[in-house]
Amino acid sequence: GLPGGAVWTSNHFAVTENLAVRLAAQRAPGRHRMYKLVREGNYAMPGVIGWLLRYADTLPLSSCVTTMKGLDRTVSRILRNGDFVLIYPEQAMWWYYPKPRPYRIGAFRYAAKNGVPVVPCFVTLSAKNTGEPLSPVNMRYTIHVCPPIRPDGTHSVREEAERMREENFRLCREVYERVYGKPLDYGDGELLF
């Protein structure tokens, strides 16, 4: 149900989970290019990961106001062209953290401003080899793609973005609770490793 552009969101816990989101996005009908928002400082990473961050359809999230204005125009153009933009609404990567974290408004503002849906994704972790402890080398990603959240056009961009943000978080929280079999609780201090 994605004939045009869309903002995809996902939890961010490793440098590779965006590949799972990209594979899921390729199942959408039509031809859509997937762009990813990346913190500008990540472009300085060495090696293959750095090269991919610089040249694999990434857009810089910068502290420079001029760059951010250009990013705003570019994201709008990408969405108008019917392509996808992956934005991590948590705005930071926490290594192998399994829980959804509070979302910033940016991804949802882009969707509301441009009248495109948000596709909430939540990636869960499990052991590849059952009976062995979960570790980075014994880890399987399962991507859960929730129904798109569409702007209804009856509210301001800010109100619409806030509604979409709340709905996105609710859907991801439900996935977390269903898959891991426990309520989302931030007070337990639990980390996966």
Tell me what percent of the residues of the chain surpass a pLDDT of 90.
41
How does pLDDT run across 93-145, given as a tens digit for each residue?
787 788 888 899 999 999 999 999 999 999 998 888 887 777 777 788 899 99
What local confidence, expressed as pLDDT, does residue 134 receive?
72
What local confidence, expressed as pLDDT, does residue 23 receive?
83
CB count in 10 Å sphere of residue 168: 25
Q: What is the pTM of this model?
A: 0.85
Please give the DSSP secondary-structure letter assigned to residue 102: P
What local confidence, expressed as pLDDT, does residue 150 receive?
93
CB count in 10 Å sphere of residue 101: 18
What local confidence, expressed as pLDDT, does residue 50 receive?
65
Name which of 17, 23, 18, 54 is nearest 39 in CA terms: 54
Pick the range with the lowest mean pLDDT from 83-87, 91-95, 153-157. Answer: 91-95
What number of helices (H) and strands (E) belong to the chain? Answer: 5, 6
In this model, does residue 45 exceed pLDDT 70?
Answer: no
